[in-house]
Amino acid sequence: MQLVSVRKQVSVFSYKPDFTDKSKIMYNISITFENQSWIITKRYSEFDDLQKQLKVCFKNQLPELPKKTYTSFLFSKTHDDIEQRRVGLDKFLKLLTSKQEILSSNQLKEFLQLEEHAKILVVNQPQIVHEFCGFLHGVRDFNLCIGQGILFVVNSDYSIFNRLDAYLTNMKGPWEKEDGQQAVMPVGCIECWIQQQDGLYTRQWAKMYNSQAICCFWDPSSFVLLVGLDSGSINYLEVPYSQGFKKCETDAEIQQHSSKVTGLYYDNERCLIHSVSKDKRYKIRNAVKSILIYDNEISPYELTDLVVSKSRRKSFISDKNGFIYMFDVSEDKVVQLNFINTNIRLLRCLKLDSSQNLLMAIGQETGEIVMVDIGTIKSEKQLRWIGQINTKVKGYKFCWSQKRKELFVGTSDGTVQFWDYDTKQLIFVMKAHDSEITQMQWIEEDQHLLTSSRDKEIKTWLLPLHWRNQQVK
């Protein structure tokens, strides 16, 4: 359902005294959506309440509400005063309904009584089916493996002051002996949660870090878990199924980069660790021999993400200035094939749909999602721009559903936007968390969307099979 394609008209066309309190004014609003028209009346205070509710989700995107005057305590409002406010309220509503993302919100729909009068606009909303909570810090990354019933959660202390205090506490003075007994204040953590017989997940173990934990990668075939740290190190863990995932069999810290690790991948056939970092370098390490087989500064800008296609033997890397690089990693000799400049700054969250020859990424500052054609298998010579969606909000993470042909975008204000890929139109907006969404995972077979946030929660949402009931299409 795309509200932008629906014929609509909203107007604050007149006003009248409130018969229950003649000192108050009621504003008449005419609304037309498609062939349905109706009139509602609202006080100024209800407009004010609407703006406060919308600010929770949309903040600086909102138009200004005409300011309330206080002269009415001493003098009655004049006709000119009321007319001026009516014009301001009319402009306010017209601007709200012109913004697709705001028009799709429950707050504005309820205010205008859209779903009561225009059944075509009734949306079947996502339902929350589970909440994971009790994490030690705000969640940065996670990976849920349904088949194995295991959840890995990367969390970090987001407070700058707490991190500074921890770094000072953890710093070892030259006069201190290496006795391993120095005070340690962790600022990062990887947690392992295992599904029990009742279907619920409980924390099995956790490992603390003196550096912020940034990202993780879980390979379910080799039972290898990689954790990227802010210090540039990678924690290599083997968590075997034979032990019920209850403990780590191998635990090694690899000093891979000089600064924050931003992307990870493990090639289980060749035991290769791929990683990118804020230090602008792409590195590939043989985990068995503990030697680097590739180490190169591939960009003058910080690298932001990495995705590897095992079937294609290709890797794709994004950087802070909007470039995407493609590499052939089929042999020990890594070859850069091509790159594309998307002109979107702070590009991150690469998503690859190999069956569709499709690569996508999101710009953190603008929320623009870019689509790139990578070519058919064994013919990946060029990266070709094929389109984009401008969500107009700061977006950090997004998911792609191939079957639904939809994109789910997590924003800095804790909302999730649902977009139609083909029409590039917004379907629905929901408030998922109280703070920015830090990671998302889509489980196609269950129609489940998982979202995480700094608020120390991971939520599971069940999406409706159809956004609208079929009989009102």
- Split at pLDDT 50, 70, 90, the class of 193 is very high
Q: Which residues pair with 17 in a beta bridge?
A: 25
432, part of any domain:
no
User: Rounded to a whole number, what is the distance in angstroms from the first to the last CA of the chain?
Assistant: 9
User: From CA 341, how far away is CA 325, in angstroms rounded?
Assistant: 9
93, part of any domain:
yes
User: From CA 168, how far away is CA 12, in angstroms rounded?
Assistant: 59
The model's pLDDT over 240-289, given as tens digits with 9 standing for 90+, comes to: 998 889 988 899 999 999 999 999 999 999 999 999 999 999 999 999 99
Nearest CA-CA partner of 190 in 160, 165, 146, 226? 226
CB 344 within 8 A of CB 357: no
User: From CA 92, how far away is CA 290, in angstroms rounded?
Assistant: 62
The model's pLDDT over 133-144, given as tens digits with 9 standing for 90+, comes to: 999 899 999 999
234, part of any domain:
no
pLDDT, position 129:
95
CB 85 within 8 A of CB 45: no
The model's pLDDT over 337-379, given as tens digits with 9 standing for 90+, comes to: 999 999 999 999 999 999 999 999 999 988 999 999 999 998 8
112, part of any domain:
yes
Mean pLDDT across the chain: 89
55, part of any domain:
yes
3-state helix, strand, coil in the chain (%, to 5): 20, 45, 35
Task: Count CA within 13 A, CB hemisphere, residue 224.
Answer: 20
User: From CA 231, how far away is CA 394, in angstroms rounded?
Assistant: 26
For residue 111, the Cα-to-chain-centroid distance in whole angstroms is 28
Q: Give the residue with greater pLDDT, 98 vs 122.
A: 98
Tell me the three state secondary structure of residue 214.
strand
**Residue-wise over 433-469: b if at least 16 C-beta within 10 A, else e?**
beebbbbbbbeeeebbbbbbbbbbbbbbbebeeebbe
pLDDT, position 115:
79
Tally of CB atoms within 10 A around 213: 28
pLDDT, position 183:
40
Return the amino acid letter for 10. V
Tokens of 338: 């091509």
Write the CATH number for 38: 3.30.1520.10
Q: Tell me: pLDDT of 472 over 70.
A: no
- Split at pLDDT 50, 70, 90, the class of 392 is confident
User: From CA 12, how far away is CA 29, in angstroms rounded?
Assistant: 4
Nearest CA-CA partner of 214 in 155, 258, 159, 259? 155
Q: Tell me: pLDDT of 473 over 50.
A: no
- Split at pLDDT 50, 70, 90, the class of 319 is very high
Nearest CA-CA partner of 211 in 228, 225, 224, 229? 229
Nearest CA-CA partner of 249 in 270, 222, 269? 222
- Split at pLDDT 50, 70, 90, the class of 4 is very low
For residue 115, give its domain range.
3-121
Question: Which H or E run includes 124?
Answer: none
User: From CA 88, how far away is CA 102, in angstroms rounded?
Assistant: 18
pLDDT, position 125:
87
Tokens of 51: 């703006």
The model's pLDDT over 25-56, given as tens digits with 9 standing for 90+, comes to: 999 999 998 788 999 999 999 999 999 999 88
List of E strands, 321-374: 323-328, 335-341, 347-353, 358-363, 368-373
Residue 137 makes CB contacts below 8 A (sequence gap 6+) with 155, 156, 157, 158, 187, 188, 189, 456
- Segment 219-223 shows an average pLDDT of 97
Q: Tell me: pLDDT of 74 over 50.
A: no
- Split at pLDDT 50, 70, 90, the class of 182 is very low
Q: Which residues pair with 208 in a beta bridge?
A: 189
Nearest CA-CA partner of 330 in 293, 297, 295? 293
Tally of CB atoms within 10 A around 385: 14
Residue with the two structure tokens 């120095």: 182
List phi, psi (to 5°) of 44. -60, -40
How would you classify the pairing of strands 127-133 and 138-145?
unpaired
Q: Which of 75-84, 159-168, 203-212, 376-385 has the lowest mean pLDDT?
A: 159-168
pLDDT, position 19:
81
- Segment 206-227 shows an average pLDDT of 96
User: From CA 26, how far away is CA 18, in angstroms rounded?
Assistant: 6
CB 410 within 8 A of CB 396: yes
Residue with the two structure tokens 């919100």: 105
- Distances in Å between the alpha carbon of 161 and those of 164, 173, 325, 421? 5, 21, 36, 41
Tokens of 68: 């309330």
Tell me the three state secondary structure of residue 85.
helix
- Number of compact structural domains in the chain: 1
286, part of any domain:
no
User: From CA 178, how far away is CA 160, in angstroms rounded?
Assistant: 28
Share of the chain above pLDDT 70, in %: 89
The model's pLDDT over 421-468, given as tens digits with 9 standing for 90+, comes to: 999 988 888 889 988 999 999 999 999 999 999 989 999 999 999 887
User: From CA 237, how far away is CA 247, in angstroms rounded?
Assistant: 10
The model's pLDDT over 147-179, given as tens digits with 9 standing for 90+, comes to: 999 999 999 987 665 545 555 455 555 545 554
What is the pTM for the complete model shown?
0.82
